[in-house]
Amino acid sequence: MAFENNGSAREDAPSRRRAPRRRRKVCVFCGKDNVIDYKDAAKLRKYISERGKILPRRVTGNCAKHQRAVTLAVKRARHLAILPYVED
């Protein structure tokens, strides 16, 4: 054999630790009287990235139902020129 492996490569490598698990985010709109409105630009800006893209569920923490509603509200606000399509 060309190489002899006796397990020393693992001893030389730095030990890896798993990152602590992050708590799952809770949907802001569930269980409260928060209403998703396309006219409320300040609330909708929280769900848009600095590049103007709609943030995904794993970032915002919304449930699927409310994420669809946020997406629809952002698209309506963009169409009515309340929100920009692209940030400067």
- Measured in Å, how far apart are the chain's first and last C-alpha atoms? 61
Residue 58 lies in a domain: yes
Mean per-residue pLDDT pooled into runs of 10, the chain (88 residues): 64 72 83 89 95 94 95 98 90
Characterise 63 by phi-psi region: left (phi > 0), alpha (psi -120 to 50), beta (else).
beta
Residue 34 lies in a domain: yes
CATH code for the domain in which residue 42 is found: 4.10.640.10
Domain count, the chain: 1
> Can you give the pLDDT at residue 8?
59
Residue 17 lies in a domain: no
> Can you give the pLDDT at residue 10?
60
User: pTM score, two decimals?
Assistant: 0.72
Residue 76 lies in a domain: yes
Residue 14 lies in a domain: no
| Cβ atoms of residues 38 and 76 within 8 Å | yes
> Can you give the pLDDT at residue 69?
96
